[in-house]
Amino acid sequence: MPQLFSPSATLLVRLAVLAAVFGIVAISAVLAQRAAAPARAGVAVEQPIPFSHKHHVGDVGLDCRYCHTSVETARTAGMPSSAICLSCHSQLFKDAPMLAPLHASVESGTPISWQRVHDLPDFVYFDHSIHVTKGVACVSCHGRVDQMPVMMRNQPLDMSWCIECHRAPERRVGRPDQVFSMQPEPISESEIQQLLAIFNLEKKTRMTDCSTCHR
């Protein structure tokens, strides 16, 4: 049977098929990476329950630590458990349709799959407790959450942004009793210098060393 295509034409067809396959794989990988990437600043993230920080923090006056229980003692701030939510919602709006996932979580024993809004890459070491105990207020990184009906990233949280703060901690440091305030009271320059000494933040070379964040 005579050959329909020349060897060169056959090779071109095979190369075109391979290119198409690799192209599909590459596009799929990019889409998957984007889907798994942390939320960008100013972009809302869909949650299982439309939780409003504006209502709970701004209107009701809940303290950050009521839901984020480990923020002062651990690397992660902690996500609120269903039991914490039910400390109020076992009575308040308990039959609201939007809270159905909460009750389903309690019945099944499966935690609510809250989607992280502030999520750093795995190769970055970050400890909430260190920053909180050194006088860095929540609003420094998370913004005015008491004004956010939907939680969004307020800052880029990229390396250059973090380095800028580590090089000039005097721009962020504040009184420890103001850390969880949405409107920390201004402090004088002399008090800032005292806090830098108390918190041992004067050695800026240590704060910008690679091993501080990449361990």
Report DSSP letters for 140-182, one per residue: HHH--GGG-SS-BB-S---HHHHHHHHH-GGGTB--GGGTT-S
Q: Based on the structure, what is the number of domains in the chain?
A: 1
| Residue 96 in domain | no
Q: Quickly state the pLDDT bin for 139 (edges 50, 70, 90).
A: very high
| Residue 61 in domain | yes
DSSP calls for 113-128: -PPPSS---TT----H
| Residue 122 in domain | yes
Q: Quickly state the pLDDT bin for 26 (edges 50, 70, 90).
A: very low
pLDDT tens by residue, 51-68: 999 999 999 999 999 999
- Looking at residue 17, what is its pLDDT? 61
- Looking at residue 138, what is its pLDDT? 96
Tell me what the mean pLDDT of segment 143-153 comes to: 95
Tell me what the mean pLDDT of segment 141-150 comes to: 96
Q: Quickly state the pLDDT bin for 31 (edges 50, 70, 90).
A: very low
| Residue 48 in domain | no
Q: What is each CA distance from 211 to 163, 173, 207, 208, in whole angstroms?
A: 13, 22, 9, 8
Q: List the one residue out of 76, 80, 45, 86 whose CA is nearest residue 63.
A: 80
- Statement: residue 136 has pLDDT above 80: yes
| Residue 179 in domain | yes
| Residue 86 in domain | no
| Residue 3 in domain | no
| Residue 144 in domain | yes
Tell me what the mean pLDDT of segment 117-133 comes to: 94
- Statement: residue 95 has pLDDT above 60: yes
For residue 208, the enclosing domain spans: 53-79+114-213
Say whether pTM exceeds 0.85. no
Tell me what the mean pLDDT of segment 7-28 comes to: 58
β-strand partners of 41: 153
